[in-house]
Amino acid sequence: MEDLANKKILFIICGGISAYKSLETIRLFKKHKAEIKTIITKNAKEFVTPLSISSLSQGKVYEDIFNLENELEMDHIALSRWADVIIVAPATANTISKLSNGSSEDLASTVILASNKQIFIVPAMNVRMWEHQSTKNNLKILKSYGYKLIGPVIGDMACGEFGEGKMSDPLEIFLKISNFLNQQKEKRGVRALVTAGPTNEYIDPVRYITNKSSGKQGYEIARSLYNRGFDTTLISGPTNLSIDKNINLIKVETAEEMFKATQENLPTDIAIFSAAVADFKLNKKKKDKIKKEEMFTINLEKNIDILNYVSNHNSMRPKLVVGFAAETKNLDKNAISKLTNKNCDWIIANDISKKGIGFNSDYNEVIIHYKNNKIPKEKLSFKKKSEISEEIVDRIVAQIN
């Protein structure tokens, strides 16, 4: 296992008898030279002490959002930005419930709500609490926000019962977090380019033709790539979305502007084209607004095919080129045709005729087709676009590794 020197880990210890396991987990991280800061909740102090934590972590232990000393040294925003990763262990049923509802009633929940870093939840609770539908619903919400789970495992519990709900072993927690941090380290310097949103092609100064797109899936993919350590550029058509400030956001409006921005950001290692680029533009845009009573004819010409251009570029073709295909019928047939004709490595296809997915929705369902069928097609079933993006990026990481 590589040393974790210069890696910053924020540990949030919540109330639960498994809190003692967090001490051993902290010890493992310190052994491998990670920098640790800790937040301990009021209930957690019933099981472990701030002194024992600070002795092991050799770092600051934060207890109360209203503590003046804490606020003068580092406020909750700065603390959330300081960390490379945040671990909540043990995460009780109560903690999971509060986080799923966006609670910010104490320092721990406020830091989590304000964070822009990957958050790992390590559940620990009675088997009946773990199996309760409310816990399942709350975890589903947290997963949709991009939180990752470690455990729980099956075993004997302190209450005397047996089943799933036991906190994962400290070594398992350490290995999974270390793997995540080392993946980020490996990807530093690996460039990723994502296009998202629609393009607008003007008829006159106030009217335009476009392709329908919210840009949500592309933004989520860019966010997932950045969170995994990629140097990420997002070229976006007109949307109402925001993105992390560390992602290089380039805003464009027309297909020509998107094409030029793409050219200017080559070469890149990975290119993902999720934008719904308008296929046609006006042969000649009207200088003045066309009045209702005017008779006019629209003459269209094809726009530049950005995906085709990049995928067939001789000297600057990315190592991995991924296209998207939004279809209303013959999903597989049309996706495979696009995969072949555009010379892509992958095509990610979705059926936009289905209700509740695709355009303007937070949900999606896609099928990934791979070049030359080296890997059988894969279906990512109905789920949040943030979850779809995580699964896509998992496969990107596996491919480039």
CATH 3.40.50.1950 location in the chain: 8-185
Say what the pLDDT of residue 188 is.
64
Which CATH superfamily, name and number, covers 188-400? CoaB-like (3.40.50.10300)
> Average pLDDT, stretch 162-188?
83
Helices 93-100/133-144 angle, 10° precision = 50
pLDDT at 196 over 60: yes
Q: What token pair was written down for 169?
A: 């072993």
pLDDT at 200 over 90: yes
User: One of 159, 206, 298, 316 is an active-site residue; which one?
Assistant: 159
pLDDT at 70 over 70: no
Judging by beta carbons within 10 Å of its beta carbon (0-12, 13-18, 19+), is residue 401 exposed, middle or buried? Answer: exposed
Whether the model clears a pTM of 0.95, i.e. scores above it, the answer is no
Name the percent of the chain in helix, strand, coil, to the closest 5. Answer: 35, 25, 40
> Average pLDDT, stretch 215-221?
95
- 344 an active-site residue? no
Is the pLDDT higher at 117 or at 335?
335
H or E, element range at 90: strand 85-91
Count Cα atoms within 13 angstroms, Cβ side, for 322. Answer: 26
- Spatial neighbors of 394 by CB under 8 A, at least 6 apart, are none
In the chain, how long is the greatest CA-to-CA distance?
83
CA–CA dist 65, 68 (Å, integer): 8
Architecture of domain 8-185: 3-Layer(aba) Sandwich (3.40)
CATH 3.40.50.10300 location in the chain: 188-400
CA–CA dist 46, 106 (Å, integer): 17
Is the pLDDT higher at 288 or at 309?
309
Q: What percent of the chain has pLDDT over 90?
A: 52
Helix (H, G, I), strand (E, B) or coil at 6: coil
